[in-house]
Amino acid sequence: IGMTQSPATLSVSPGERATLSCRASQSINNNLAWHQQKPGQAPRLLIYGASTRATDIPARFSGSGSGTEFTLTISSLQSEDFAVYYCHQYNNWPYTFGQGTKLEIK
Amino acid sequence: EVQLVQSGGGLVQPGGSLRLSCSASGFTFINYAIHWVRQAPGKGLEYVSTISSNGDATYYADSVKGRFGISRDNSKNTLYLQMSSLRAEDTAVYYCVRERLAAAAGIFDYWGQGTLVTVSS
């Protein structure tokens, strides 16, 4: 299953809202996760089941969608949120990832 | 605290072999399926392989099938990835990743720190 993220790069000011999109090439129900990766670090799970926050993830992170269209929203960007975000489908094997959206400071 | 501590990366010549290790702590290792995911320099994430909790089932991406072998020693809380016939395109940071216990398989909830494998002459 192909996963397409948009935009490739998103420039947003601290305190503003960021909306990242992920599209699957076929329905994946709600079997979608979002991971955050900062430079030089391993990815970290943010969201699974399309909308369930992982342990210790702040409430400003929210996920939505089902089928083929998904969204990750960060309601009020903090400095530590600027990173690369990957969507990941686990509905079908082999598991696949989007190419990533880089969230940068405007 | 869940920890996955990796070791074994390095520089290897094309056609060579390397074994990666991933030592787990902070959870009951035998209960969890574990995966390997890799990331080529400056690129995105690519699924590599999976092993079931008891080691009976293994899965491989087409790109590594027949060349890589995943295994685990539950008595040592350790996961392995034996890589052979390595190619330049296998150059990447390799992550071991725990699968969350859930109704749906494939949720990657904890990642190791990663280990760099460089295939070059």
pLDDT per residue as tens digits for the range B3-26 = 999 999 999 999 999 999 999 999
Q: Tell me which chain A residue has its CA closest to the CA of residue B60.
A: A94
| Residues A5-27, mean pLDDT to the nearest whole number | 97
- B59 and chain A in contact, CB less than 8 A: yes
**Measured between alpha carbons, how far is A79 from A58 in angstroms, rounded to an integer?**
14
**Measured between alpha carbons, how far is A57 from B17 in angstroms, rounded to an integer?**
39
- Cβ–Cβ gap A48/B46 under 8 Å: no
**Measured between alpha carbons, how far is A88 from B62 in angstroms, rounded to an integer?**
18
pLDDT tens across A40-91, in order? Answer: 999 999 999 999 999 999 999 999 999 999 999 999 999 999 999 999 999 9
Nearest to A48 among B35, B59, B100 (CB): B100
What value does the mean pLDDT of chain A take?
Answer: 97
Residues of B in contact with A95 (CB under 8 A): 35, 47, 106
**Measured between alpha carbons, how far is B4 from B97 in angstroms, rounded to an integer?**
8
- B111 and chain A in contact, CB less than 8 A: yes
Instruction: Give me the residues of A, 36-65, that contact B with CB < 8 A.
Output: 42-45, 48-49, 54-55
Predicted local confidence at residue A10, as pLDDT: 97
- Cβ–Cβ gap B44/A86 under 8 Å: yes
Q: How far is CA A75 from CA A33, A88, B117, in A?
A: 18, 21, 37
- A95 and chain B in contact, CB less than 8 A: yes
> Which residues in B62-79 are b (16+ Cβ under 10 Å) and which e?
eebeeebbbebeeeebbb
B113: tokens are: 């720190």
Count CB neighbours of A17 within 10 A. Answer: 11
What value does the mean pLDDT of chain B take?
Answer: 96
- B27 and chain A in contact, CB less than 8 A: no
Predicted local confidence at residue B113, as pLDDT: 98
- Cβ–Cβ gap A96/B47 under 8 Å: yes
- Cβ–Cβ gap B114/A42 under 8 Å: yes
Predicted local confidence at residue B102, as pLDDT: 83
Q: Tell me which chain B residue has its CA closest to the CA of residue A45.
A: B109
Please give the DSSP secondary-structure letter assigned to residue A30: T
- A33 and chain B in contact, CB less than 8 A: yes
